[in-house]
Amino acid sequence: MKFVRFGKPDAERPGVVDADGVVRDLSGVFGDISPETICSDALLKFSEKEVASLPAVSGERLGCPIANIGKVVGIGLNYREHAKESGAEIPKEPIVFLKANTSINGPFDDVILPKHSNKSDWEVELGVVIGKRTKNVSEADALRHVFGYTIVNDVSEREHQLERGGQWTKGKSHDTFCPIGPWLVTSEEVGDEQKLNLWCEVNGERYQNSNTSDMIFTVAQCVSYVSQFMTLYPGDIITTGTPHGVGLGMKPQRYLDDGYTMRLGISKLGEQLQHVKRSDEA
């Protein structure tokens, strides 16, 4: 199934997408699409027959499909071709960073560049949504702890990430730098997570076009690895890296600016579209 949250920011209601692509209102059944409902397995027990009886919704903004996300954990340099374009060696272990929760944004909301940002970049990524408490899970059991998948645009300010010292988190955590959605799709509906096409266009030109089969560390390996260092809870998201075609890897490099658009998608998970604006705050 495909779950969504619709409505104005901070006032979203839960929804589900029916077989015809119509959003239907779930608020009479569930309070929200949240860590609590994900953990309970109640969403997985909801039937297509029940979906058809729900009121249809149209013309509503879609927000991040999960409320109250505990943490967003990033995996860096996890596609072979992206590592090559970055001039980096293939990592021996996953590179792990965090994106602040304040960066979470809706899939069609504007992305706001910091006033003095000159090197903000696009990164389409497969987001893995944890379904149950996960700690020190084996690779063999890791996918049993995954509820489903979503799209994440891991927008990154490269100067802050790479040239300002310290951790990558600084360049990854600006407000609006983590569009998530539009859908939260259950693992069963997605199928093989290592055979998904993913792409990103900037101003109508496709720069990223790859497949999750190019990952260095699989989804199962990423979940298992991260769980060695922190406990993962329902609703937490692991973003599993981006393929080649980012602005950092171009010659000359190209970055986002005021008035740009980003359109990105992953097979079975839908599409995002963001307009880029520059902040006027100091």
Note whether 45 and 161 are same-domain residues: no
Position 265 confidence tier, pLDDT thresholds 50, 70, 90: very high
Neighbours of 256 (CB within 10 A): 25
Other beta carbons within 10 Å of 11:
10
Residue 246 pLDDT greater than 80, yes or no:
yes
For residue 67, the 8-state DSSP code is: S
Report the alpha-carbon distance of residue 261 to residue 52 in Å, rounded.
35
Q: Is the pLDDT of residue 282 over 70?
A: no
The per-residue pLDDT of the chain, averaged, comes to 95
Q: How far is CA 172 from CA 147, 148, 155, in A?
A: 25, 23, 6
Range of the domain at 27: 2-57
> If you average pLDDT over residues 27-41, what whole number do you get?
94
Question: How far apart (Å, rounded) are the C-alpha atoms in residues 267 and 89?
Answer: 28
In degrees rounded to 5, what are phi and psi of residue 165? 75, 160
Beta-bridge partners for 265: 199, 271
* pLDDT computed for residue 106 by the predictor: 98
Look at residue 25 and tell me if it is in a domain: yes
Dihedral over alpha carbons 83, 88, 90, 92 (to 10 degrees): -130
Q: Would residue 64 count as lying in a domain?
A: no
- At residue 188 the predicted structure's pLDDT band, cuts being 50, 70 and 90, is very high
pLDDT at 165 (0 to 100): 84
Q: What is the number of domains present in the chain?
A: 2
pLDDT at 271: 98
* Residue 65 within a domain: no
Task: Assess whether 37 and 138 both reside in one domain.
Answer: no
Give residue-wise pLDDT tens across range 107-163: 999 999 998 899 999 999 999 999 999 999 999 999 999 999 999 999 999 999 999
pLDDT at 49 over 90: no
Query: Beta strand 23-25 with 56-57: parallel, antiparallel or unpaired?
Result: antiparallel
- 248 near 267, Cβ under 8 Å? no
- Which of 34, 39, 97, 43 is CA-nearest to residue 69? 34
pLDDT at 84 over 90: no
Residues 20 and 80 in one domain: no
pLDDT band of 85, cuts 50, 70, 90? confident
Q: How high is the pLDDT of residue 116? A: 86
Task: Give the pLDDT confidence score for residue 86 in this predicted structure.
Answer: 82
- Rounded to whole angstroms, the Cα distance separating 174 from 75 reads 17
**Contact (Cβ atoms closer than 8 angstroms) between residue 27 and residue 81:** no
Looking at the structure, tell me whether residues 35 and 98 fall in a common domain: no
Q: Above pLDDT 70, what percent of the chain?
A: 100
Same domain, 99 and 46: no
Query: 178 and 52 share a domain?
Result: no
Tokens 């509503």: give the residue: 60
Q: What is the pLDDT of residue 45?
A: 85
- pLDDT tens across 58-73, in order? 999 999 999 999 999 9
Alpha carbons 67 and 249: distance in angstroms, whole number? 34
